[in-house]
Amino acid sequence: MRNNLCFIILMVFTTINAQKVEKDFNNFYSGNNKHKPIKYVLFEIEKDNESEKKNNGGKIYFYVKSERFVFDMKKHKKDTCSIDILKTIKLENSRNLQNDEYEYFRKKVDEFEKKTKQKIPKALPISQEHLYFKVYVIEKISSGKIVKYEVDWEYSNF
């Protein structure tokens, strides 16, 4: 009887621990990290022929060098700032964002595998949106003012 009780307790603890690891895995793989790296992309329509801005109802679409960013007025925020903020942030080249995201994902996979001893594929999951960075689009509106849009970074070919 005592062996059966010890076995049942061991199985309960193993099941609880296994469910916790699976939950951590799903949060990691779906991009629901609490601390996403922040990336800033400059939107300049005058100087760049590959940039375009479209308004569609409550959404603004920014096309920057074959990347698409969507600002939804219902779920995102925008902020008007002084141009001096550009001295404190690092602007990213939108062409390098996919490579940066892939390197970030691989680094996080390696950390997760070391922590949990669980092997997972090192390919980015297929999704309509890029999930691993928090992206802001910076648009200059006057000589001293910019607008910072919080956006979703979408795959352009979906």
Partnered with residue 43 across adjacent β-strands are 139
Tell me the residue length of the chain.
Answer: 158
The reported pTM is 0.72
Rounded to whole angstroms, how far apart are CA atoms 53 and 43?
9
Residue 151: closest CA among 83, 67, 88, 90: 67
Interval 87-145: pLDDT, tens: 899 998 888 888 888 888 888 888 888 888 877 777 766 677 777 888 999 998 888 89
Q: Where are the alpha helices (DSSP H) in the chain?
A: 2-29, 97-116
* Res 21 pLDDT > 50: no
Predicted confidence at residue 14, as pLDDT, reads: 67
Interval 56-73: pLDDT, tens: 888 999 888 878 899 999
Please name the residues in contact with 30: beta carbons below 8 A apart, sequence gap of 6 or more: 125, 131
Other C-beta atoms closer than 10 Å to the C-beta of 39 total 22
Residue with tokens 């949060």: 27
19 pLDDT band (50/70/90 cuts)?
very low
Opening angle at CA 130, ends 67 and 106, nearest 5: 115
For range 51-60, the mean pLDDT: 86
Considering only the C-alpha atoms of the chain, give the largest distance between any 2 of them, rounded to a whole number of Å. Answer: 81
Reading the block at residue 82, the tokens are: 């002084």
Do 81 and 145 contact (CB within 8 A), yes or no?
Answer: yes
Predicted confidence at residue 51, as pLDDT, reads: 78
At position 10, the amino acid (one-letter code) is L
